[in-house]
Amino acid sequence: MPIDRGRLRQLHYRFAPIFFFPVLLTVLTGSLFQIAVLSGQGDTFSWLLAWHRGHFGRINLEVIYPFLNAFGTLMLAMTGLLLWFQTRPHR
């Protein structure tokens, strides 16, 4: 059963910005915190680790944040690959 390319592209287009920012935030805060630890200033930048884990002040998403990141990454990868395979020329 072929997948409707228009719906798949629309799904990917709508969810990409939503899932991109949490993944980007996780990558940036993890990298910056590691740099802070290597420079001996890990205690000063412990708020980066809190953001990395999904604790944003009053909003605490530490329980579901990793699963949201994983779901978003997998969904974007799957829809992106399906779109890529559909646009490749067949030999």
The residue whose two tokens read 């884990």 is 53
Give yes or no for a contact between 34 and 42, defined as CB atoms under 8 angstroms apart.
no
pLDDT digits (tens, 9 = 90+) for 20-69: 888 899 999 999 999 999 999 988 999 999 999 999 989 999 999 999 89
pLDDT band at 90 (very low <50, low <70, confident <90, very high): low
Of the candidates 75, 23, 77, the one whose C-alpha atom is nearest the C-alpha of residue 54 is: 23
- The beta strand positions in 1-91, using DSSP E, are 55-56, 59-60
Is 13 in a helix, a strand, or coil?
A: helix
Token look-up 């944040």 returns 65
Q: What is the pTM of this model?
A: 0.73
- Domain residue spans of the chain: 5-84
